[in-house]
Amino acid sequence: MSISKVGVIGAGQMGNGIAHVLSLAEYEVILSDVSQDALDNARTQIEANMARQASRGKITEGDMQAALGRIHTTLSLPEIGTTDLVIEAATERETIKQAIFEDLQPHLLPHTILTSNTSSISITRLASGTDRPERFMGFHFMNPVPIMQLVELIRGIATDEPTFKACKEVVDRLGKTAASAEDFPAFIVNRILMPMINEAVYTLYEGVGSVQSIDQSMKLGANHPMGPLELADFIGLDTCLAIMNVLHDGLADTKYRPCPLLTKYVEAGWLGRKTQRGFYDYRGETPVPTR
């Protein structure tokens, strides 16, 4: 099937990045959220990110203005139902995602493909609550979306081949690379990445190293562009904890037990960059380790 109009649910960091790349690839985009402030902030962020691309010669000013003109924002979830493809990018909580798909279902076109940008939740389980499990799959972008080249495509047990091919064509048109993953907890990237971050938090918790020494060790000793604790702050500690809980519950293996210190930071509301405090304090000119 031909996809020309895409609905993106959730105007946060992932949702606005997804809308950004889709609009540059000449898709008509409807971006929805429950908050007008979130929609306004998303448009501001998209414009700023595109302006940065234009200043570096990645896109032209004309490309930018045309792409911005393709993004329509709405507080009305039913409006998303008029699209060919829906990419849900709401909070990483299964109950929230299920409620969104349930509310959206009566308004969908017969051919609309449903997808979720979930980083860990079962695609098969999300699909089973809809009227089209064969036209439902995981569409997992990496953060930050405009920069990262990989998209994980995850088939649920019922996902049919035309749905996979249609989503793969979208990834190709975005100029990104698709990795096909099976529907197991956290898929490929986070199945490997999150336990590493969790182990870094255990290394801090047990006093093996400080925040600074742990991050410096992995940057200089393993050639990682960001240290694991710095990366956790960038992702969001609440998201890291949610994914570790999915791994621990879904695979029933104690090696995926979330570090108590990670839980404590989340309970404190120190979620990383988005709250100005996590493993680093971002309220000054330079990030300062909090431990």
For residue 265, what pLDDT is reported? 98
Q: Which of 119, 120, 122, 198 is catalytic?
A: 119
Asked if 136 and 111 count as a contact pair (C-beta separation under 8 A), the reply is: no
190 is a catalytic site residue: yes
49 an active-site residue? Answer: no
Handedness of CA 54, 57, 58, 63 (dihedral sign): positive
134 is catalytic: no
8 A C-beta contact, residue 275 and residue 269: yes
Strand blocks (E) in the chain = 5-9, 28-32, 71-74, 85-88, 113-116, 136-141, 150-155, 177-181, 280-281, 288-289
92, 94, 152, 230: the active-site residue: 152
Which pLDDT score is estimated for 92? 87
Other C-beta atoms closer than 10 Å to the C-beta of 74 total 15
Tokens of 234: 């960038």
pLDDT at 1: 73
* Three-state DSSP class for residue 276: coil
β-strands 150-155, 136-141: how paired?
antiparallel
Task: Clarify whether 140 is annotated catalytic.
Answer: yes
- Residue from 23, 140, 198, 230 carrying the catalytic annotation: 140
pLDDT tens for the chain, 291 residues: list them: 789 999 999 999 999 999 999 999 999 999 999 999 999 999 999 999 999 999 999 999 999 999 999 999 999 999 999 999 999 999 888 999 999 999 999 999 999 999 999 998 999 999 999 999 999 999 999 999 999 999 999 999 999 999 999 999 999 999 999 999 999 999 999 999 999 999 999 999 999 999 999 999 999 999 999 999 999 999 999 999 999 999 999 999 999 999 999 999 999 999 999 999 999 999 999 999 999
CA atoms within 13 A on the CB side of 124: 9
Q: Which of 16, 49, 122, 190 is catalytic?
A: 190
